[in-house]
Copies of this chain bind each other. A is one copy, B any other.
Amino acid sequence: MSHIHLSIQDAHALAAACLKANGCNDENAEAIATTIMAAEGDGSAGHGLFRLPGYVASLRSGKVDGKASPSIDRPAPAMVRVNANGGYAPLALEAGRQPLIEAAREQGIAMMALVRAHHFAALWVEIEPLARAGLCAMACTSYMPAMPPAGGAEKLYGTNPVAFGWPRRDAPPMVWDQASAALARGEIMVAARDGHTMPPGVGLDSNGNATTDPKAILDGGMILPFGGYKGSNLAMMVELLAGGLIGEHFSFEAAEHDNKDGGPPRGGEFILAIDPSRLGGDNWLEHSEAFFTRFLSIEGTRMPAARRYANREKLAAEGVDVPEELHGKIVQLTEV
């Protein structure tokens, strides 16, 4: 596959221009381009420029308002609600970040409810700034039905990611971000291509029976929650926190209301922020560093996000390689 080499700045500018050409105002285009490039620049191409055609599809169909302006209210002292008013999530998340940080510092713990948003990105992008502000943070969001609950063979849950972050001293924050699904669809496609079988518990075939054949999972089957009923319980928790709790759609409702244009459905997100300095003692950061030191002393472990941080440094210096076909498509979408 040939690639087009771009600096981070040029790739950002390309993304922003494409979004503006398709109905985003400057604020939304910049916020989305920043989110896209946070992923692309961390070496996570699947959440990077690869998503841009999906963003454009929903701008063009009119499902998402590229000029939406988020509004914020405070339904309770420790609750910040950000209404994206039918726009994409990035601008709304930016708008809510400082109010959430302030609420967490004032109240000790606070949550943000993101509603009426279209979310199409990774969660670590939202967790990292909170951890950099000295807060412990957790986030989750649902999407459209992709997985059955444990024991069932009918899709109900989205892949429902959960992310968690914790501040470090003299190091970027510890951040993990993981789907409630056993594997990403891309990983199953690679196994199918290479003729490998999957471990048990990863997927069902089109008849709803357990299978280790990646082709059977992809061909009308479905991916399972990770870790059996335990991952399934977590996926249910995500539906309740990012849906029922904040008055937004469950995944099954999101699908029912979606226009199937290929972009993200309307949905919500739950973000939790807690100030460890309130309870952890004056030495709370030293204390958790002692834990991380112990963790890293065990052979074979690595800090979650270590690879992303290494990629970030490398790609900031070297730029990114964008597949020629994707690049051509983005240029085409920008010119129309």
Q: Give A residues with C-beta under 8 Å from B.
A: 75-79, 81, 106-111, 113, 136, 138, 148-154, 156, 164, 166, 176, 178, 182, 199-201, 226-228, 230-231, 233-234, 236-237, 239-241, 243-247, 250, 252, 272, 274-276, 278-281, 284, 287-288, 290-291, 294-295, 298-302, 304
Chain B residues near A176 (CB-CB < 8 A): 233, 236
Which among B111, B151, B275 is the interface contact of A302 at CB below 8 angstroms? B151
Q: Indicate whether A152 sits within 8 Å of B299 (C-beta atoms), given known contacts A109-B76, A199-B201, A200-B199.
A: yes
25 examples of A-B residue contacts, CB within 8 angstroms: A75-B278, A76-B106, A76-B109, A76-B275, A77-B77, A77-B78, A78-B78, A78-B108, A79-B109, A81-B279, A108-B111, A109-B111, A152-B299, A156-B294, A156-B295, A156-B298, A164-B237, A178-B230, A226-B230, A240-B288, A244-B280, A244-B284, A244-B287, A244-B291, A272-B272
Nearest neighbor of A243 in chain B, beta-carbon distance = B291
Which among B233, B275, B276, B300 is the interface contact of A304 at CB below 8 angstroms? B233
Q: Oligomeric state, in number of copies?
A: 2
Main secondary structure, interface of A, reads mixed
Q: Indicate whether A244 sits within 8 Å of B288 (C-beta atoms), given known contacts A110-B109, A295-B236.
A: yes
User: Do the beta carbons of A166 and B78 come within 8 Å of each other?
Assistant: no
User: Could you tell me the distance between the alpha carbons of A27 and B247 in the complex, rounded to whole angstroms?
Assistant: 41
Nearest neighbor of A150 in chain B, beta-carbon distance = B301
Which among B164, B230, B295 is the interface contact of A227 at CB below 8 angstroms? B230
User: Could you tell me the distance between the alpha carbons of A76 and B105 in the complex, rounded to whole angstroms?
Assistant: 9
Chain B residues near A284 (CB-CB < 8 A): 244-245, 247
